[in-house]
Amino acid sequence: GDSVTQMEGPVTLSEEAFLTINCTYTATGYPSLFWYVQYPGEGLQLLLKATKADDKGSNKGFEATYRKETTSFHLEKGSVQVSDSAVYFCALSLPDGQNFVFGPGTRLSVLP
Amino acid sequence: SQTIHQWPATLVQPVGSPLSLECTVEGTSNPNLYWYRQAAGRGLQLLFYSVGIGQISSEVPQNLSASRPQDRQFILSSKKLLLSDSGFYLCAWSSGTNRPEQFFGPGTRLTVL
């Protein structure tokens, strides 16, 4: 079946370090791919998305590129801040527009 | 612009009591609606989704139920809560194939004692 796999963490980094959170997927057809961020006690916020192969989504210094050949959508940021501490979820949406699959989430802690 | 509301924000209920959580969406019509549960420190579990009024699909068997009495209203209910129902309940909406991303409400923190 369709699934999303991501490193579960926790990931602990120092401020200004480079961030990579790996995400790979298995899906039939051509899904859209997303990264969501969840701050403590809050709902999920859409961080970025990509809807077709080789698209790059970007927002707030975060980037991810839709790699069809490796079925991956890794999240990167060049210099993390303490305020980036949160849980990050990779997700896919199937072309039927109804089914959404989330990864297990990766907790990121950024230390000053 | 579209907004999604959930209430209450927090709830503490005794075991065996009933439950009603409400979610409403503004600024869009005929959305797909979703209920998720998130246990402490865990990922998201899809409970129910709805593509229209009165149309509910259940993803997991449980003592919870969902209803969609109006186009932009989605209600999660239980007749008798269990301890295992504690968690963070999230409602989400999407517009379907043209714009596949889901948008989430602020969540309801439910504690069953």
Identify the residue with better confidence: B81 or A98: B81
3-state secondary structure of A84: helix
State pLDDT tens for residues A38-83.
998 899 999 999 999 999 999 999 999 999 999 999 999 999 999 9
Residue with tokens 């503490």, as numbered in its chain = B12
d(C-alpha A95, C-alpha B3), whole Å: 24
- Residues 52-111 (A) with a CB less than 8 A from some CB of B: 89, 91, 93, 95-98, 100, 102-105
pLDDT of A29 > 90? The answer is no
> What pLDDT does residue B84 have?
92
Cβ–Cβ gap B97/A46 under 8 Å: no
Taking CA–CA distances from A86, the nearest residue in chain B reads B41
Q: pLDDT category, B43, cuts 50, 70, 90?
A: confident
pLDDT of B54 > 80? The answer is yes
Cβ–Cβ gap B100/A103 under 8 Å: no
A41: left (phi over 0), alpha (psi -120 to 50) or beta: left
